Amino acid sequence: SQQGEEDPQALSIQEGENATMNCSYKTSINNLQWYRQNSGRGLVHLILIRSNEREKHSGRLRVTLDTSKKSSSLLITASRAADTASYFCATDIIQGAQKLVFGQGTRLTINP
């Protein structure tokens, strides 16, 4: 079964606008990661946030983590056409050993 659930499943915005995606998870984690997948390609790591961190920035990306609500959000500012992709959150589940489990993803479309 999947650990993370992204919301929304699909998002379409105009170039230049900000895009926000949310992820909820079920069990305790050490960290949460966000990945991007362009059509037909492998996944690319974007950012990792640890359970003792609340917010992290990387370029136009801003990630927040609320462990009390078991949720995270990814904000992409000033979106570009090249940001069109699927975005996945992944959590490391601690059940004996850490394993990396992905959600179903958000399909982001940036319209020119």
Partner 1 sequence: EAGVAQSPRYKIIEKRQSVAFWCNPISGHATLYWYQQILGQGPKLLIQFQNNGVVDDSQLPKDRFSAERLKGVDSTLKIQPAKLEDSAVYLCASSFSGGSEAFFGQGTRLTVV
Q: Does 2 bind partner 1 (CB under 8 A)?
A: yes
Q: How far is the CB of 86 from partner 1 (least distance, A)?
A: 8
Q: Does 51 bind partner 1 (CB under 8 A)?
A: no
Instruction: Report the candidate in 59, 68, 61, 52 with the shortest Cα–Cα distance to residue 89.
Output: 61
- Tell me the backbone φ, ψ of residue 82, rounded to 5 degrees: -70, -10
Residue closer to partner 1, measured from CB, 15 or 51: 51
Report the alpha-carbon distance of residue 10 to residue 32 in Å, rounded.
Answer: 21
Contact 61, 48 (CB under 8 A): no
Among 48, 53, 64, 109, binds partner 1 (CB under 8 A): 48
Residues that bind partner 1 (CB under 8 A): 2, 4, 30-31, 33, 41-45, 48, 88, 90, 92, 97-105
